[in-house]
Amino acid sequence: MRCTSEVYAVLLAAGLGTRMGQNKLALRFQGKTPLRLCYEAFLRSQCPPKGIVIAVSEQTRSEALALAAEDARVWVAQGGATRGASVCNALRALQTRGIKEGVVAIHDAARCLVPPAVIDAAVRGAQQNGCGVAAIPVRDTVRTQAGELFPREERLLMQTPQAFEFKRILSAYEAAEAGGLNETDDCAVYMAAGYAPHFTEGSIMNQKLTSPEDLPFFHAACAAQRLQRIGFGEDTHALVPGRRLVLGGVEIPYEKGLLGHSDADVLVHAVIDALLGAAALGDIGTHFPDAEERYRGISSLVLLRETAALLRENGFLLGNVDATIVAQKPKLVPYIATMRSNLAQCLGVDASEVSVKATTSEGMNDEGAGKCMTARAVCTLIKNG
Ligand code: MG
C-alpha cells in the first residue's frame, strides 16, 4: 500500500462507559489497556500516523500522558461533553499543531481489537475517495420492536476507524457545531456537510467493548492475537557405522547411526531448538552443553522433557510442532507414528499437535550421499498470561 498522504489518528478515550459499570478503559487485556492496544494497532498499520491525538476524560488523562511521554507522536486533547465535541477538540488540536492536509482516522478506543488491516482499508479509502468508513454487513435478521422486518442486504453496521481528508472533516465538524454535535459517528457529520460516504471493510473482530458480557471475548481474542510466537530449529549429525540410529526416541534398525555426545537424536534436537527459539531462551547447546559428562549417551527425550518444563516455568504453552527429517535411507515411514507420540508425551500435548515428516534429498547433498541426517522444525508457543 502506498502512503500517498500523511496520516493522523484521533483516539477517543473520553466516554463514560456507563454500561460496563466501571471505567472500561482502565481494564487490561493481556496486561494492556484498550488505549495501548489501539495505539499499537495504529503503529502496525501500513501508513503509521505522524501524530496521534488522544481525547481524554479525567479518568484517562494520566494514561494518555504516559503514552505521550513515551512517544513524541502522541498528543493529548481534552474530551468534550459529547463524542462529537471530543472529535472537534481533537481535530482543532491537530490544526493547532500546524496540520492542514492529509488524512485523519478517527477511532473509538473501546474498539481495541481493531485489526491493522481494517485501519489500512479505511485510510486507503480516504486517500482515494476522501473518506473510508469501516463497516460490516448485518449477519442477523433485523426487526423493529413491533416486529417489522428490515431487509438486511441494504444495511451496514458502522464501526471505526472512520478516515477522512483532514480539511473536509474539520470543516464538516465546524459546520455541525451549532447543532450540538450529537451525532454518534463521524460519517453522519461528513454526510451532513454534503459529502458522499465510502465504506471500507470492517471486521467482526472489531467489536466495541461495552458491557461485562463482552469481557470473555476480549480476553480470549487478545490472548489468541497477541501472544503466539514462532520458533525454528535445525540440526545435522554425521551418519557413521557402530552407532545406534535413534530418531524421535525410536531406535531404528540400520547399519549406521548418528554420531554425537548424547544419543544424537537429530529430530529431537531440532525440535528443542525450535521451542527454545520461540521462547527466545537460547539454544540446546546453552542448556545441555555437550562437554558435560551427564549428557553422554543420554536419551534426547529427557532433554525434550526438561525443555518443556522450562517453557512452562516461563509461562509458555505449546501450540504445535512440525518437523521434517532429511535422510536418504532407511525408510522412516513405519516409525513416524511412534516418533509423534514420543514427542507429544514429552511435551504434554496430544499427538495431533505434533507433526513429523521424512524426505530424501533425491540423492543430493551429504544427506543424499548417506553421510549425515538433517532435521528441521518449526513450532508455535502461546504465552500463558
Ligand atoms: Mg544435535
Q: State the pLDDT at residue 36.
A: 92
Q: How many angstroms separate the CA atoms of 186 and 209, rounded?
A: 19
Q: State the pLDDT at residue 256.
A: 97
Calculate how far, in angstroms, residue 384's C-alpha sits from the geometric centre of ligand 1: 29
pLDDT category, 187, cuts 50, 70, 90?
A: very high
Q: Long-range contacts made by residues 242-248, C-beta under 8 angstroms, separation at least 24? A: 245/330, 246/299, 246/300, 247/325, 247/332, 247/335, 247/339, 247/373, 248/335, 248/336, 248/338, 248/339, 248/340, 248/342, 248/343, 248/356
Calculate how far, in angstroms, residue 237's C-alpha sits from the geometric centre of ligand 1: 6
Calculate how far, in angstroms, residue 302's C-alpha sits from the geometric centre of ligand 1: 14
Average pLDDT of the chain is 93
Give the percent of the chain with pLDDT over 70.
Answer: 99
Q: How many residues does the chain have?
A: 385
Provide the grid cell at 9.
489518528
Calculate how far, in angstroms, residue 263's C-alpha sits from the geometric centre of ligand 1: 9
Mean pLDDT of 299-315: 93
The answer, yes or no, to whether residue 197 has pLDDT greater than 50, is: yes
Calculate how far, in angstroms, residue 269's C-alpha sits from the geometric centre of ligand 1: 5
Provide the grid cell at 337.
507414528
Calculate how far, in angstroms, residue 264's C-alpha sits from the geometric centre of ligand 1: 6
Pairing mode, if any, of strands 250-251 and 316-326? unpaired
Q: How many angstroms separate the CA atoms of 74 and 131, rounded?
A: 23
Give DSSP secondary structure letters for 203-257: -TT-----SGGGHHHHHHHHHHHH-EEEEEEEEEEEEEETS--EETTEE---SEE
Calculate how far, in angstroms, residue 266's C-alpha sits from the geometric centre of ligand 1: 5
Question: Which is higher by pLDDT, 17 or 335?
Answer: 335
Mean pLDDT of 115-129: 96
Calculate how far, in angstroms, residue 115's C-alpha sits from the geometric centre of ligand 1: 40
The answer, yes or no, to whether residue 180 has pLDDT greater than 60, is: yes
Q: State the pLDDT at residue 93.
A: 97
Mean pLDDT of 141-145: 91
Calculate how far, in angstroms, residue 340's C-alpha sits from the geometric centre of ligand 1: 19
CB-based neighbours (< 5 A) of ligand 1, an ion:
235, 269
Tell me the three-class secondary structure of 83-107, residue by residue.
HHHHHHHHHHHHHHCCCCCCEEEEE
Judge residue 169's burial from the number of C-beta atoms within 10 Å of its C-beta, 0-12 exposed, 13-18 middle, 19 or more buried. Answer: buried
pLDDT category, 17, cuts 50, 70, 90?
A: confident
Q: How many angstroms separate the CA atoms of 47 and 229, rounded?
A: 25
Instruction: Name the amino acid, one letter, at 373.
Output: M
Q: Report CA 364 to chain centroid distance, whole Å.
A: 39
Q: Which residue has the cell 469481557?
A: 215
Distances (CA, A) of 152 to 9, 138, 148: 31, 6, 12
Q: State the pLDDT at residue 16.
A: 74
Beta bridge partners of 317: 382
Q: Full-prediction pTM beyond 0.85? A: no
Calculate how far, in angstroms, residue 243's C-alpha sits from the geometric centre of ligand 1: 15
Mean pLDDT of 336-361: 95
Calculate how far, in angstroms, residue 48's C-alpha sits from the geometric centre of ligand 1: 43
Q: Report CA 189 to chain centroid distance, whole Å.
A: 33
Q: State the pLDDT at residue 385.
A: 46
- Cβ-based neighbours of 123, under 8 Å, separated by 6 or more: 7, 45, 46, 47, 103, 105, 132, 161, 163
> What DSSP state is assigned to residue 60?
T
Q: How many angstroms separate the CA atoms of 4 and 23, rounded?
A: 38
The answer, yes or no, to whether residue 227 has pLDDT greater than 80, is: no
Calculate how far, in angstroms, residue 256's C-alpha sits from the geometric centre of ligand 1: 17
Nearest alpha carbon to residue 207 among 225, 192, 182:
225
Calculate how far, in angstroms, residue 204's C-alpha sits from the geometric centre of ligand 1: 45
Contact, 339 vs 231, CB < 8 A?
no
Instruction: Name the amino acid, one letter, at 81.
Output: A
Give the percent of the chain with pLDDT over 90.
Answer: 81
The answer, yes or no, to whether residue 384 has pLDDT greater than 60, is: no
pLDDT category, 225, cuts 50, 70, 90?
A: low
Distances (CA, A) of 135 to 11, 20, 103: 18, 24, 18
Q: Report CA 203 to chain centroid distance, whole Å.
A: 15
Calculate how far, in angstroms, residue 363's C-alpha sits from the geometric centre of ligand 1: 22
Nearest alpha carbon to residue 83 among 107, 67, 103:
107
pLDDT category, 290, cuts 50, 70, 90?
A: confident
- Cβ-based neighbours of 286, under 8 Å, separated by 6 or more: none
Cα angle 203-383-281, degrees, rounded to a multiple of 5: 135
The answer, yes or no, to whether residue 20 has pLDDT greater than 90, is: no
Using one digit for the tens of pLDDT, what is the confidence trace for 242-267? Answer: 999 999 999 999 999 999 999 999 99
pLDDT category, 295, cuts 50, 70, 90?
A: confident
Q: State the pLDDT at residue 154.
A: 83
pLDDT category, 226, cuts 50, 70, 90?
A: low
